[in-house]
Structure 1
């Protein structure tokens, strides 16, 4: 005799639980630390950001005389890449605001500026007397990641492709501490690089290594 309304056995429930799909990581980066996939990509750990270094790329660090790191650049044969992270509101949308202000400032400095639609939204493209520039902004959970490609006009497209690849594999470590919106997330250099910079500063104290 069949019983109606028979409940699921413990074994059936366990099988169903095992069959439930696990949460999927985002299809592409940049990634929040909580969502970063275990892809085996080698990244340079700079504290608030972990960035892959393109083949042939070299590290260039800007430091204040007092010690804090201002920026870290990846210098490549086709141009210079800079990736920076900032505190952002939970609601997101900071890049729209920052991008508009940045475009105004670039125009005041004499650059020709236009926008293009990219994989992460609106990008700023500027031609300045010194370099061809591209700014890419990505709004994440309580952070904004900004990438900049700067180099000669003839290699602008190749430099942009390198920037996209770096952003696509970057991991942002926001932390849980409250911060005012737009505050740069702190950069922490690996110990070996820090020792090298300290030694170089005693020889050429110009703020750039």
Structure 2
């Protein structure tokens, strides 16, 4: 199920089938839905295409038509994540500092599998467009985790949705990842440091107005 329009061809990072991490015995292979135009893109290789991307500082994400945004704030103040709510479920992308040698997703994938199992989820390993993906069932929610190693960054995506839409949700997440631009920056950062999310001014003002409204004293009944 396509969520986005077509784009011009460009060469990006993450193309080809990467070797998967052998952390799970139950492994499935899915047909790649890559049409030869691959991302995600490093800022240096950002394509000159027709996508209108939401600029979040470290990430430029093409938000699907009709989607809603939900901002998750850290108690300390910084933005923890921006969730994209679609008909296929909730999609979330986060970028992290990674070593030049790559391979961070391989480590994170194994840790995620252990954490999900500890939470009571049923976990399967799936070989997708960029190598290993994780598919997990937790209660009435189906999760799909996808990671891509880039130049000194790792992009991790997750979609949470109803089980009956699991295949389409995974396709939607892959398409979102494939068209995202990662802005790592040149500053040194410890490995696994989350890349900073900066909200557009219009969203900042909207959140401030909503918070101000919640702080207004209630009218007597």
TM beyond 0.5 = yes
Equivalenced residues, count: 182
After TM superposition, the score normalised by the length of structure 1 is 0.84
Q: Contact conserved, 1:54 with 1:162, CA < 8 A, in 2?
A: no
Aligned equivalent of 1:18: none
Which segments of 5 or more consecutive residues in structure 2 lack a partner in the other structure?
Answer: 1-9, 13-36, 216-221
CA deviation after TM superposition for structure 1 residue 130, in Å: 4.4
Cα RMSD between the aligned structures? 1.3
Which segments of 5 or more consecutive residues in structure 1 lack a partner in the other structure?
Answer: 1-23
Q: Contact conserved, 2:84 with 2:91, CA < 8 A, in 1?
A: yes
Moved over 2 A (4+): 24-27, 64-67, 201-205
Return the alpha-carbon distance in structure 1 between the equivalents of residues 86 and 195 of structure 2: 24
Q: Contact conserved, 1:60 with 1:73, CA < 8 A, in 2?
A: yes
Q: Which has the larger radius of gyration?
A: 1
Q: Contact conserved, 1:51 with 1:170, CA < 8 A, in 2?
A: yes
Aligned equivalent of 2:122: 112
Aligned equivalent of 1:87: 97
Find the partner of 2:78 among 46, 63, 68.
Answer: 68
After TM superposition, the score normalised by the length of structure 2 is 0.79
Return the alpha-carbon distance in structure 2 between the equivalents of residues 119 and 42 of structure 1: 24
Return the alpha-carbon distance in structure 1 between the equivalents of residues 167 and 65 of structure 2: 17
Judged with a 3 Å threshold, the aligned counterparts in structure 2 of structure 1 residues 76 and 114 are, in CA distance, closer, same or farther, namely same
Higher helix share: 1
